[in-house]
Structure 1
Amino acid sequence: MTGRSSRESGPATLGLLAVTAIWGSTFVLIKDVVGRMSVTDFLAVRFAIAAAVMLVLFARPVWRLGRAQLRRGLALGVLYGLAQWLQTEGLARTSPSVSGFVTGMYVVITPILALLIFRQRMPASTWVAVGLAMVGLGVLALNGFEVDLGVLLTLASAALYALHIVGLGHWSKAGDAFGMSAVQMVGIAAVCLLATLPHHGPALPPDTKAWIAVLYMALIAGAFAMLVQTWAQAHMPATRAAIVMTTEPVFAAGFAVLLGVDVLTTRMVGGGALVLAAMYMVELAPRFRRKKSAEALHHEV
């Protein structure tokens, strides 16, 4: 990580936390919308709107991207779109709590892929944080667990999310954030639109309430979130980003409690605390290492 990226890692973490909070706020909305329109239609309309808006707003940054970045952005978008589709198919076959836990497995898969593909080695503190995050997700989400087709599909989506995080962390550049995020959204929209073709093609939301939810999901949880994630991952390692993003179910549980959909439980508090502890570990450990190095250098002088 460059000196500039290191200085901007704090704002990048806050940006990524804001993104996960937005994603967490969508669970209640999605549950309501997909009760009145099919999941594939919802995803297709949501991401098609997001892609169209981003292409209009960021046409010039997209045009300035080189061919290599265009290909990478499209590939990352296709990965993310496939992950969304597999996760949704898995959710239809298993409980939301199990789906949330298995999706969170990307926090374990990400450092493994980073090591295998880009030879990125992780300090011991990062692996401890990964373990803490997984235990926290389990406490937060699981009441029972058995492996079935839904779990396998969701696990496949977690692997694709991890691959997206690793690829985005390696290829994302702060100056390309606008263009790359728009191109990724085009790839996501293409996959989601293709998923509707075997049935009837995309159908529009059935009423005003559904339209409002879809527009929020498209513009705020879609376009804005992708832009911030792309920028943030230019300033932090992929594994650290994955651990920060495991706060999504914590935010989801918090919004569910605030909106009266769920009741606060000891499991929520305990699981959420472990996930937050993991995030603080990956945030604070590098700072302690830099502080010790600076102190050692000072003593040598």
Structure 2
Amino acid sequence: MKKRLLADIILLFVAFIWGATFVLVQQAISFLEPFTFNAVRFLFAAFLLLIWFILFNRDQVKKINKKLFISGLFIAACLFSGYALQTMGLLYTTSSKAGFITGLSVVLVPLLGFFILKQKPRAIAVIGSLVAVAGLFLLSFGDSFLLNKGDVLVLGCAIAFAMHIILTGKYTNDFPSMLLTITQITGVAIFSSIGAFIFEDWKVVFNQDIILQKDVLIALFVTAVLATAVAFFAQTKLQQYTTPTRVALIFAMEPVFAAITAYYWADERLSVFAIIGCLLIFMGMIFSELPTHKKKDKTLQNVKSA
């Protein structure tokens, strides 16, 4: 019981870190462009994970093979797409709205799982999805009923993260968790670096006036160390002490933390319609994860958001 409680508390802290990073990233990308920021973030995180692997998991080297790299790159492609769309979306929408829309990935998992893995979604998951979609409509359109480009980009991010959850659930039992994590984090770093090289002025990372900006340094440290390296490691290690449903519910708090931190740190305010939309999305997340008498969906054992 103590291990389970400790696991839940630490995972709740992970959800808080992910929620809080929306504001930090939004501030940082005013100095570093999205691909460049993610390249530095994931390269640093991959470096930290690699050091951890060398120190504590060297016995797993013999398990490295071609299938691991291919599977890891597939997962990395989804994770890269999610973070790229999320970071670009933050250029056009608010942190609080981005946090709630990203949280839709939890709701989208059973729906995408039906089309990709042929897993029939539970009725309660369908109800949760419909409630969340209604909330997304109110949140995205608000009282102006104008579609925000940033909202669309972040919705694409939610779909990509849902795909990441599904593929992680598919491959997680085939490889050691640390190796799979390092492979996908490194893959995201490579994809982001390529994007920065092609589409952005990546040389700004060598500009001390930019890279040493307080907002940039804080955002890179928190996202690379806490929100990526530590968070992935914590999720991998601690899920064995709790249940998939509890983990999904805990991670559903990420958009709530995003809205709270955006309120206090960025002075963001939501309209009445947007607040109702946020509540509906949160209710949809809860509905989609309510336990039933049916066999639990193992895909949700590896839930992930920003």
TM over 0.5: yes
Taking only the aligned residue pairs, the percentage that are identical comes to 29
Tell whether 2:245 aligns with 1:211. Answer: no
Deviations 1:181-240 (A, max 9, x none): 121110111111111112443515133442132111100011122234455778866x99
Is the 8 Å Cα contact of residues 36 and 206 (structure 1) preserved in structure 2? no
TM-superposed deviation, 1:14:
6.0
| Structure 2 stretches lacking a partner, 5+ long | 296-306
Aligned pairs for 1:37-186 (under 5 A) are 37-59=32-54, 60=58, 63-67=61-65, 68-92=67-91, 94-96=92-94, 103-140=102-139, 142-143=141-142, 144-146=144-146, 153-173=153-173, 176-186=176-186
Kindly report the root-mean-square deviation, in angstroms, between the aligned alpha carbons of the 2 structures.
3.8
Is the 8 Å Cα contact of residues 51 and 185 (structure 1) preserved in structure 2? yes
Is the 8 Å Cα contact of residues 134 and 277 (structure 2) preserved in structure 1? yes
Is the 8 Å Cα contact of residues 68 and 175 (structure 2) preserved in structure 1? no
Distance 1:233 1:73 in 2: 20
Is the 8 Å Cα contact of residues 101 and 141 (structure 1) preserved in structure 2? no
TM-superposed deviation, 1:20:
2.6
Is the 8 Å Cα contact of residues 72 and 184 (structure 2) preserved in structure 1? yes
Is the 8 Å Cα contact of residues 141 and 147 (structure 2) preserved in structure 1? no
Aligned residues: 280
Is the 8 Å Cα contact of residues 76 and 164 (structure 1) preserved in structure 2? yes
Q: Helix, strand or coil: the match of 1:197?
A: helix
- Scaled by the length of structure 1, the TM-score of the pair is 0.74
Partner of 1:29: 24
Is the 8 Å Cα contact of residues 21 and 248 (structure 1) preserved in structure 2? yes
Deviations 1:103-147 (A, max 9, x none): 455345422221122222222112222233333444455424555
Assess, with a 3 A threshold, how the Cα gap between structure 1 residues 21 and 55 changes in structure 2: closer, same or farther: same
Is the 8 Å Cα contact of residues 83 and 157 (structure 2) preserved in structure 1? yes
Is the 8 Å Cα contact of residues 16 and 229 (structure 1) preserved in structure 2? yes
Higher deviation after alignment, 24-33 or 53-62? 53-62
TM-superposed deviation, 1:62:
5.8
Partner of 2:197: 197
Distance 1:29 1:241 in 2: 24
Structure number with larger C-alpha Rg: 1
Amino acid at match of 1:195: G
Amino acid at match of 1:117: I
TM-superposed deviation, 1:22:
1.1
Distance 1:148 1:57 in 2: 41
Distance 2:5 2:118 in 1: 25
Amino acid at match of 1:38: E
Assess, with a 3 A threshold, how the Cα gap between structure 1 residues 177 and 9 changes in structure 2: closer, same or farther: farther
Is the 8 Å Cα contact of residues 78 and 188 (structure 1) preserved in structure 2? yes
Amino acid at match of 1:133: A
Distance 2:290 2:97 in 1: 30
| Structure 1 stretches lacking a partner, 5+ long | 1-7, 291-301
Deviations 1:25-78 (A, max 9, x none): 112212222222222222111111011111111232762544233431232112
